[in-house]
Structure 1
Amino acid sequence: MSVTVTPLRGRCVPFPDAGLGALATAQGNLPLESLDVTADVSGLVAGVEVVQVFRNAFPESLEATYVFPLPDRAAVTGFRMEADGHVVEGVLRERGEARADYDRALAEGRRAAIAEEERPDVFTVRVGNIVPGERVTVRLTLSQPLAYEDGAAVFRFPLVVAPRYIPGTPLDGTPSGAGTAPDTDAVPDASRITPPVLLPGFPNPVRLSLAVHLDPAGLDLREIESSLHTVVREGGDGGAPLTLRLQPGERLDRDFVLRLRLAASTSLALVPDEPGDGKAEAAEGTFTLTVVPPAAEGVRPPRDVVLLLDRSGSMHGWKMVAARRAAARIVDSLTADDRFAVLSFDHAVERPPELGEGLAPATDRNRFRAVEHLARLDARGGTELLRPLEQAADLLGTAEPGRDRVLVLVTDGQVGNEGQILERAGGRLRGVRVHTVGVDRAVNAGFLGRLAALGAGRCELVESEDRLDAAMEHIHRRIGGPLVTDLALHAEGLGVLPDTVTRLGSLFPGVPLTVSGRYAGAAGGAVVVRGRTADGEPWERRVPAVVTGGTAARALWARARLRDLEDRYDAGEWDLEREIVETSLRFGVLCRFTAFVAVDSRVVGDGGPGHRVIQPVEQPSGWEPSAPPSPLAAAPMAFTAPAGPPMAAAYGAAPAGPPPAGRGATRGFFAVRRALPGSGLGGAPIEVDFTALAAEELARLREAAGGSPYERRMHLADLASRLRVLAEHHAELSALAAELEAAEEPGADLDRLWRRAEEVLARVAGGRPANPDLPGGSGRPFWKRM
């Protein structure tokens, strides 16, 4: 088998002093010494073991707390503590009982460890009564499905919990956790999800190792790409097992993302329970249905689209650049039959004033105004997400029959009040197709996936600038509407248990439908999936069953079931708590209302720990704090964006109508303005002063000339994005935009591109038209660009 491993693209370079082991400080060593992740990927499922090693460097007993992420769809099924040659298996209990067992063990002088879920992708491990000089190892076992779309499966493993915006009024009383943020009325457990953050540039405090063993399981594996880390390949030739290992010295500051190019197929797999599983008397099992979507065809109905763009402080840097580009591409995909609104938000919500208060027709002029508004946005403020979601729901509530209602949210998702948002906005978004675009190297994938699932939409994650174009191709097709809706499942000869089938959703281009559930009785038969195509025609697919083995399917179904129940709980169905606990305990899968606890029978001290430490976490890659944290760790970071020159003058847009005296084709101090033609579908001409635009961009370019190579690379990429949007009718500026897109490629000659940009902008700023023979420059309509 021949497999290509695509080299690391992007700019995530390990610190030169990384890999030094435990970090010594004036207060002693940090407790987490190493983290080891081993994944066995078989087909589209991964079995993962996470090993955390804690060491006590203090002269008294220690309790160590570590807040860490796991994949949001992973099912945690095992927990083990190892110390002083003894192994203690963890037991899954109701969360209150597990905490009581843990606290009692510590008070009695015994070692103990507890694992709890704070969010679908945020977990806490506490290890207590670690004696001086001792190492304690904690092992977690989990099963994880691989996301699959457009011919690629993605194994994503998060490595850091990013700081989250915590709204609300602080609560009185003792905080619920040891984090840096106070609990609030909006986020009552804020202190449990806000670990302290290490000062940027600190030596690497944790030894990280990560290995992925790949077994295509009969699928045609063609290519492997690691987008944020450098990996080393071992084996894979002549039938030998293929392993990918993380390069030594990498830090816990961004997600690990591995993309596997392989082919999926329609299937129905039945996995009977093993003897002793569960409490059912009759034979039961789990089924997993995968349906590859049909080819795109038919007529798409008109849409009402609301685009929400997060411009809060955590979006500063490359994320804001990528988010602006993504939002502009989404606006560009709209047609004259659509209506839309653009809302940017931080602590306030803003809209392009030219588009009015409601949904505006997606004419060429309105799309141009929206893109111009997006191009001026910089990061600032806090992430107040609830208010813009409610405003979007109000706008989409005015949709007429026969129109698709679509909400697209572009954000990093770093908020702490996920439950409040789902409760207050979830019901109002029913009937709205919600698509989320997560932009970050440590994205809050759990929350964005839950929000998209409420609206039967899709969640697309963008972890680097290099991934943006590919991600936007996916998003364009998703917001174009599903291929098949109103899906229903009909069993033939298979005893599907009622109320166990996970959400059916809709069939989107390039995205296989995956549904799981429970059955009773003989393993056999078939399943028929029925629905309606976009043009209202009936659609049907019959899939015969195949009996397979393994334990992952059962655990993954239980995790998906628990997620559905927890989402309903967050939406206000609080009587579901008992069912959530019972499902968790029966199938042995951790959830928010249960916890794994491991208690050693041996007494190692005279009482509870004499010292308690919460492990600081890395500042996520690409994040820039506005002020330096404390010497070891910081409270939740606030972010500000540097003020830049106003962009309105550069783009020179003016209202429709005849040009005022002294403008238009007359050359003056700011030279030539050209009118971009409307589409003939109601869009009026829009004036753009390309000379003023070039002069403004030239000033910005020269001001940024002294920046670092990374900053100059980002400046050129951002310039290319702005020119691509607003200069399609100017041949030289359009050509320059195409050239500057190469700035993001590895090995790009930044000095040459910088000189080229300065040369072209200076020439255009001098007043010479790009092509006098073409009234609009290149003549290519900006609303039709790809």
Structure 2
Amino acid sequence: MMPTALTIDPTLTHTSGEHAFGRLETSHGLLPLAALSVAAHVRGLEVATEIHQTFVNHTGAPIEATYIFPLPDRAAVYAFRMQLRDRVVEGVIDERGRARDVYEHAIAVGQRAAIAEEDRPGVFTLRVGNLVPGDHAVLTLRTVGPLPIEDGEVTWAFPLVVAPRYIPGVPLLDEQAGTGTAPDTDRVPDASRISPPVLLPGFASPVRLSIRVTLDGAGLPVTGLRSSLHEVHAVPDRDGWHVELRPGQRLDRDFILRWTLGGAALHSAAVWALDDDGEGATAMITLVPPVGAAAQGRPRDVVLVLDRSGSMGGWKMVAARRAAARIVDTLGERDRFAVLAFDDAVESPPTLGEQLVAGSDRHRFRAVEYLAGVQARGGTELARPLELATRLLAGHDDRDRVLVLVTDGQVGNEDELLRRHGAHLQRVRVFTLGIDQAVNAGFLRRLAAVGGGACELVESEERLDEVMAKIHRRIATPVLVDVSLNGDGLDLATQAPRRLPAVFAGAPLVVHARWRGRPRPGATLELRGRLPAGTEYTQRLHLDSARPGAALAQSWARAHLRDLEDRYAAVTTPGDRAALERSILAVSLRHHVLSRFTAFVAVDRDIVNPGGNPRTLTQPVDSPAGWTDDRFGAAQPAPLGEVPSDLSDCLFSLDTLRGARQSAPVVPSAPMAAGPGAPAPRSGSGQIIPGPRRASAAPPPAAAEGDARSAPRAGGSASSIPATGSASRPVGAPPPSPPRAPAPAPQASAAAKSESRDGAGFDPAPYLARLFTVVDDLERAAGAATPDAAAQLPVARLSELLEDLRTVGLDALAARLAPIVDRLREALIVGRLLPILKEILAALRELAGDGGVAPQPPPRKRKWFWR
């Protein structure tokens, strides 16, 4: 049976092949991911985060939703939870194969279940299955991790989209590992797990985004707070700040906050905490570089490797050229350098060649002249330039050997690159400069750590100007080298990072160390190193107890697992790989921290879909900000899998789609947000990405790590794009005008509009809880110095709540709330909110108190979408 309304919108699915899915629309929408809510608490240089993902089934059949998403690569994922309507199921961490068996068996017998797996540092896959029609589930991940600080400036970056990556190699014809758009290849055997389908530019974002951050300086003043790429609302308090993302923003770039944390008060210190079971302890050591230690350094050999592939088009290419040219300008006559620009091939300035040349004025001019003409093109073949760079930097112990890589890091074969070049990179200092609004930070940090260097991230041309001084210091002589850690009265077990990097001016070194048992009274740690002049440097630190609740063990486990996983990627002998796999499993399971060999799984006890076999929907993601339709990775077809016969007329040629896009009306993006318990899909919009049908109801054998396979991908050509850099926005700026009501989808038919919207099966309690929260916010706004400005955000949240009520069919509650929202909007427009606010608050309290739902007629039976 066909759905009540099936309409086509050619602005949804991103593809470069000959076919694409259009927009499949019923009055209840289709995309499973309704809301993403992030709540972060920062204390000093540690951040604890809760990520809530709300999945809703608006289709007429059971589904399994798959979402490929990013998290900060330094963060330790230590807890997982599935919240259903009437109960909460805590996730259990287990070996990845066993966790998959448990999940697949639960799906096969008809139980609701969810599984979270790590595929790359910072890239995860979450599946939640057997959501029956009308179901909504909230999946929660908890993370903890350190924050970097340089020159007193702290950065918290939360990624929101997995950008397309260049996938080299020959496609594998076996069963694919995931439901992504790139096929698994001999060089990237799990490419289908890191390549989510991409929405076409201009499509209204289907996910409500909410980010809230609490900043506590832990006794140090927090100043200079600013957001780089998003509009935020910030309120100061006694200990720091409360920061909240303004509604209506997309998941197409990283969320980045920066602030200054009492730089003058920072000092070297060591704190420790005992494990929960008392069997071990963890210390966090912060080494602030000695002041005045820098001196005239040794001459340098610097190889500059510049990514000019298609994904670097637009402002990224401009920023990369500027960064490379300014690095060349800092070199002196005693230094030597080489410039390697790469895509599918490697090029150098014609007059200089692929060799080290003296840093003379003439050579530097020729290099800068060449860099000015470099344009984006081709694919990201990084192996060849790394091989050339390490060959040029071989030997020369009397000189500092430095490799600088300028790129967005969007490659899929990270493990292969580390395996092939890790041993050579350990003999040079590697610095990576990541340029993108959705950069592959995990890989760039791994690459820098192998070479004992560091990584800088640049999300705009304005940010490049701010970090250039740091970059110049990084390629100069470090303040301290050959750093080592020793314990007096301690049985040190291990440290993370395993290889301590050189220490540079303005950039404290943070080390996590483990030991067996409790430290003895008076125990100290000793840090040793060598100053530029060659003299020894020693600093002794007394251990102080960490504050209660400090997650030092989880932070150590994440850093140590990263070291072990990088070693695993680099070794080739089966015995060594097996030993490292056992070590990774042991650390991951003991400390409940997710790794590449473990997974979190949660299974509900009830059987809701006897026989299993739900339809797989892969959540599409936004195209990264600043990317165009025709770059190498953003143009990928959705995996077709088994296309139902109902959809046979939904396939269009690319030319037809492009022609239709030019005349298609634009649907304004409605404000996004919502609390973790509130399903909030966009009304009447969605996409289905069918995945492969399950082979059988029996649970499949455990999948071995690295045996993953995937679905087809089409390449695309690369081209430049217009510059889209965005300046940092200081917090506390005047709020924007109140949002307009979202326009209805222009394709909705009369049949769809007349379909029953009674909200059957949806509990109004989570929505009423949100209403109570908004009432509290409005009450606080009434007492503010400027009530109209303070009420902007609560009114925007109330508008989102109204849209959510209409989306899920709670029309009686929506009908009572709508006139209240209209009055608030009108009052904000004319600037006369205060006179009516008391009356409005009374009406909202009454609405929230009685539930707002009048008796409903018996619901009409919904028609099944898939049949």
Q: Which amino acid counterpart does residue 311 of structure 1 have in structure 2?
A: R
1:375-394 Cα shifts (integer Å, max 9, x gaps): 11110000000111011111
Q: Which amino acid counterpart does residue 577 of structure 2 have in structure 1?
A: W
Residue 132 of structure 1 is matched in structure 2 by: 133
CA shift in 2, pair 1:204/1:95, >3 Å: same
Residue 225 of structure 1 is matched in structure 2 by: 226
Gaps of 5+ in 2: 1-11, 13-21, 638-656, 658-686, 690-711, 728-867
Rounded to whole Å, the distance in 1 between the matches of 2:197 and 2:328 is: 38
Rounded to whole Å, the distance in 2 between the matches of 1:85 and 1:307 is: 57
Residue 5 of structure 1 is matched in structure 2 by: none
Q: Is the 8 A contact 2:39 2:51 kept in 1?
A: yes
Residue 731 of structure 1 is matched in structure 2 by: none
Residue 544 of structure 1 is matched in structure 2 by: 542
Q: Is the 8 A contact 2:480 2:502 kept in 1?
A: yes
Q: Is the 8 A contact 2:168 2:413 kept in 1?
A: yes
Rounded to whole Å, the distance in 1 between the matches of 2:228 and 2:298 is: 36
The answer as to 2:167 corresponding to 1:166 is: yes
Residue 210 of structure 1 is matched in structure 2 by: 211
One of 603, 618, 642 as aligned partner of 2:622 = 618
Rounded to whole Å, the distance in 2 between the matches of 1:636 and 1:234 is: 47
Q: Structure 1 length as normaliser, TM-score?
A: 0.76
CA shift at 1:29, angstroms?
1.1
Q: Is the 8 A contact 1:163 1:636 kept in 2?
A: no
Q: Which amino acid counterpart does residue 559 of structure 1 have in structure 2?
A: R
Rounded to whole Å, the distance in 1 between the matches of 2:309 and 2:496 is: 39
One of 480, 491, 504 as aligned partner of 1:495 = 491
Q: Is the 8 A contact 1:319 1:440 kept in 2?
A: yes
Q: Which amino acid counterpart does residue 301 of structure 1 have in structure 2?
A: R
One of 574, 594, 607 as aligned partner of 2:577 = 574
Q: Is the 8 A contact 2:481 2:503 kept in 1?
A: yes
Rounded to whole Å, the distance in 2 between the matches of 1:149 and 1:505 is: 15
Residue 435 of structure 1 is matched in structure 2 by: 431
The farther-off stretch of 314-323 and 145-154 is 145-154
CA shift at 1:344, angstroms?
0.2
Rounded to whole Å, the distance in 1 between the matches of 2:425 and 2:500 is: 18
Residue 792 of structure 2 is matched in structure 1 by: none
The answer as to 2:269 corresponding to 1:271 is: no
Residue 826 of structure 2 is matched in structure 1 by: none
CA shift at 1:635, angstroms?
5.1
Q: What is the alpha-carbon root mean square deviation over aligned residues? A: 2.1
Q: Secondary structure at the match of 2:371?
A: helix
Residue 526 of structure 2 is matched in structure 1 by: 528
CA shift in 2, pair 1:500/1:73, >3 Å: closer
One of 560, 577, 588 as aligned partner of 1:584 = 588
Rounded to whole Å, the distance in 1 between the matches of 2:202 and 2:125 is: 25
1:472-521 Cα shifts (integer Å, max 9, x gaps): 11100000021111112121233322567743211111110111111233
Residue 810 of structure 2 is matched in structure 1 by: none
CA shift at 1:639, angstroms?
4.3
Q: Is the 8 A contact 2:270 2:543 kept in 1?
A: yes
1:680-713 Cα shifts (integer Å, max 9, x gaps): xxxxxxxxxxxxxxxxxxxxxxxxxxxx9x6899
Q: Secondary structure at the match of 1:65?
A: strand
Q: Secondary structure at the match of 1:198?
A: coil
The answer as to 2:486 corresponding to 1:467 is: no
Residue 557 of structure 1 is matched in structure 2 by: 556
Q: Is the 8 A contact 1:555 1:587 kept in 2?
A: yes
Residue 76 of structure 1 is matched in structure 2 by: 77
The answer as to 2:276 corresponding to 1:258 is: no
Alignment of 1:133-212 (within 5 A): 133-212=134-213
Rounded to whole Å, the distance in 2 between the matches of 1:509 and 1:611 is: 55
CA shift in 2, pair 1:240/1:394, >3 Å: closer
Rounded to whole Å, the distance in 2 between the matches of 1:712 and 1:127 is: 36
CA shift at 1:311, angstroms?
0.2
Residue 304 of structure 2 is matched in structure 1 by: 307
Q: Which amino acid counterpart does residue 391 of structure 1 have in structure 2?
A: L
Rounded to whole Å, the distance in 2 between the matches of 1:230 and 1:637 is: 34
Residue 475 of structure 2 is matched in structure 1 by: 479
CA shift in 2, pair 1:637/1:33, >3 Å: farther
Q: Is the 8 A contact 1:60 1:609 kept in 2?
A: no
Aligned length: 619
Identity of aligned residues (%): 53
Residue 609 of structure 2 is matched in structure 1 by: 605
Residue 356 of structure 2 is matched in structure 1 by: 359
1:414-469 Cα shifts (integer Å, max 9, x gaps): 00000000000111222100000000000000000000000000100001111011
CA shift at 1:143, angstroms?
0.2
CA shift in 2, pair 1:500/1:206, >3 Å: closer
CA shift in 2, pair 1:56/1:490, >3 Å: same
Q: Which amino acid counterpart does residue 195 of structure 2 have in structure 1?
A: T
Rounded to whole Å, the distance in 2 between the matches of 1:539 and 1:126 is: 51
The answer as to 2:455 corresponding to 1:377 is: no
Rounded to whole Å, the distance in 2 between the matches of 1:298 and 1:583 is: 41
| Greater relative contact order, per chain length (Cα 8 Å cut-off, separation 6+) | 2
Q: Secondary structure at the match of 1:323?
A: helix
Rounded to whole Å, the distance in 2 between the matches of 1:452 and 1:565 is: 16
Rounded to whole Å, the distance in 1 between the matches of 2:426 and 2:160 is: 33
CA shift at 1:240, angstroms?
6.7
CA shift at 1:235, angstroms?
4.1
Q: Secondary structure at the match of 2:114?
A: strand
Q: Is the 8 A contact 1:317 1:624 kept in 2?
A: no
Residue 325 of structure 1 is matched in structure 2 by: 322
Rounded to whole Å, the distance in 2 between the matches of 1:244 and 1:477 is: 32
The farther-off stretch of 165-174 and 296-305 is 296-305
Q: Is the 8 A contact 2:183 2:713 kept in 1?
A: no
Q: Secondary structure at the match of 1:354?
A: coil
Rounded to whole Å, the distance in 2 between the matches of 1:24 and 1:267 is: 56
CA shift at 1:563, angstroms?
0.3
Q: Which amino acid counterpart does residue 173 of structure 1 have in structure 2?
A: D
Residue 115 of structure 1 is matched in structure 2 by: 116
The answer as to 2:641 corresponding to 1:638 is: no
Residue 25 of structure 2 is matched in structure 1 by: 26
CA shift at 1:629, angstroms?
6.9
Q: Secondary structure at the match of 1:353?
A: coil
Residue 389 of structure 2 is matched in structure 1 by: 392
Residue 412 of structure 1 is matched in structure 2 by: 408
One of 285, 292, 299 as aligned partner of 1:289 = 285
CA shift in 2, pair 1:287/1:629, >3 Å: closer
Rounded to whole Å, the distance in 1 between the matches of 2:246 and 2:714 is: 30
Rounded to whole Å, the distance in 2 between the matches of 1:610 and 1:125 is: 16
1:500-546 Cα shifts (integer Å, max 9, x gaps): 77432111111101111112333542111111111111111111111
Q: Is the 8 A contact 2:129 2:614 kept in 1?
A: no
Rounded to whole Å, the distance in 2 between the matches of 1:144 and 1:248 is: 26
Q: Secondary structure at the match of 1:355?
A: coil
One of 594, 597, 610 as aligned partner of 1:593 = 597
CA shift at 1:192, angstroms?
0.4
Gaps of 5+ in 1: 1-16, 18-22, 644-707, 715-786
CA shift at 1:640, angstroms?
2.0
CA shift in 2, pair 1:642/1:82, >3 Å: closer
CA shift in 2, pair 1:607/1:270, >3 Å: same
1:83-132 Cα shifts (integer Å, max 9, x gaps): 13111100000000000000000001100000000001100000000011
Q: Is the 8 A contact 1:197 1:635 kept in 2?
A: no
Residue 349 of structure 1 is matched in structure 2 by: 346
Q: Which amino acid counterpart does residue 494 of structure 1 have in structure 2?
A: L
